Each structure stands twice: as structure tokens, then as C-alpha cells.
Amino acid sequence: FKVIRIDNEISCVQETGVANFMRCNIWHVKGRDYDLVIDTGMGLNSLKKWILTQTQKPIKAIGTHSHFDHSGGLHEFDCRLGHKAEADAFASGGRAKVMYRGGWSKIEIVNPKEHPDFSIKTFSITPAPLTGYLDEGDVLDLGNRTFKILHLPGHSPGSIGLYDARSKVLFSGDAIYNGQLLDNHPHSDKILYQATLKRLYNLEVEEIHAGHEPSFGILQLRSIIKSYLAGDNTIADPVTWYNENAKLGRS
């Protein structure tokens, strides 16, 4: 893992050996009473073992959604929270329900030199049944700061965000990030996604810590949303998209 420290409480943790465009941002948020781990990557190495070198506080692991690049290490944690709409996918693990299917299972997203045991033919997610559910309006109180849960469906049915209204910080998962958005998974819903993005457009937020790519501010958030709603800035086919990124050196 490599770590990017945002401030004294927030760190971005990333799995090494995963292609830049696919590498999930794993967020470690330190609290007075307990810590949050928001998303858990592909699970190629033990995230819990690493996190325990960084904190002695109890840990609540949050799955913003169940996709394979976000849920691979969730099974390691005793407290596993996410939205009920994707409870079956979290509990089942495997490949298909966590969207490691189609074009995503055909592209090289892991460096074989760093992870020689990884195979696109056999990779699957360890089942991680949720121990509790998070839904719109729920509050996570860390003792020194609180996060309100926002249900942000569209990219996936159970996508959630964590919003700190006091500091105007949003952890958005894959509901929005600074890149081309995905709305064509088998369980995606473009109509719901448009509503989610319109909601985020008007959110009082200053900093967005997303599931991929570097963090960004309100002006970029609105630019991304305007582009999407205009019919641009989406990934139609992952293989084509991967090949284009590889040519540009972004993989």
C-alpha cells in the first residue's frame, strides 16, 4: 500500500500494483471514538493488517458499493457496513455480482510483477456479509465529527456517500469522481444516476474525496456533472476505454 495524507484525520490508501485508472481510493478517517475505512480495494494484500499499524481504535469498514475494485478487503473487518440494496452482492462475493464480468474481466488491471498469483481467469472477491446497513439520513458519529449517509443510486443501486456538513467534505464512492463515469453496468440505472448527479450539483460541498482519481472541489464537480448530463464523459466499452488509456500512458 501507499498512502497520501490529506490532513491529520484523513488519509488516502492505495493498493500498489493496480493500474492507475482502476485503483480504488481507500479512505482512512481517524476519529476520537473509532476510525472509518471507506472502501477496501481489490483485496490483493491484507488491508486490515496494514490499517492496524496505523491505529489502535475500533474500526468500522464501509462499502460505498459492492464492485470488485472497492470490496475485495471488506471481509477482513468485523464491522462491515453498506446499503441493503447490495447486501446480496457483498454476501455472495465471487465475480459476476461484484461486476468483475464482461470487458472488465478481459483487461490487464494488475501488474503481474508485483502480484504474480493474480489471474483474470480466477480472481474473485471473498464474500463479506454486511453486519449492518446504512441508508439515507443515517449518521456516523466518530465523537469529534459526524457523517450523514447519502443514498446515491445510479452507478449501482446501493451506492452511498458520506457527507460532513460542518467541514463540507463528501466521500462519494463512485457516484462521482474526476474522470469518465460509468452508468452501464447490468444493475446501473441512468435515470436514477441523473437524479443523483443533479442532487450533488446543488450540495453544499467544498472537497470531494472520491472512489478514484485525486480529490477535487465544487467547480470541478459541477463541470463533471454538466458534461455527463450533456451526454458526454461516460465509458461505453471498458476494453476500448482501456486501450485508449494505455495509449495515453494512463494505465
pLDDT digits (tens, 9 = 90+) for 13-49: 999 999 888 899 999 999 999 999 999 999 999 999 9
Please tell me what DSSP assigns to residue 81.
E
The C-alpha cell at 146 is: 459526524
Q: Cell match 466499452: residue? A: 237
147-181 pLDDT, tens digit per residue, is 999 999 999 999 999 999 999 999 999 999 999 99
Contact 161/147 with Cβ under 8 angstroms? Answer: no
> β-pairing, 169-173 with 207-210?
parallel
Strand bridging mode 26-29 / 80-82: unpaired
Q: How many other C-beta atoms are found inside a 10 Å radius of the C-beta of residue 168?
A: 15
Q: Give pLDDT tens digits along the chain (251 positions).
A: 999 999 999 999 999 999 888 899 999 999 999 999 999 999 999 999 999 999 999 999 999 999 999 999 999 999 999 999 999 999 999 999 999 999 899 888 899 999 999 999 999 999 999 999 999 999 999 999 999 999 999 999 999 999 999 999 999 999 999 999 999 999 999 999 999 999 999 999 999 999 999 999 999 999 999 999 999 888 878 888 787 765 433 33
Between CA 158 and CA 164, with CA 162 as vertex, the angle to 5 degrees is: 160
CA distance 72 to 35: 19
Closest CA to 102 of 161, 181, 28, 186: 186
pLDDT at 246: 59
Residue 69 grid cell: 475494485
Coil/strand/helix, residue 169: strand
Q: Per the structure block, which three cell numbers stand in for 214?
A: 485525486
Rounded to an integer, what distance in angstroms lies between the CA atom of residue 238 and that of residue 234? 10
CA angle 69, 74, 80 (to 5 degrees): 130
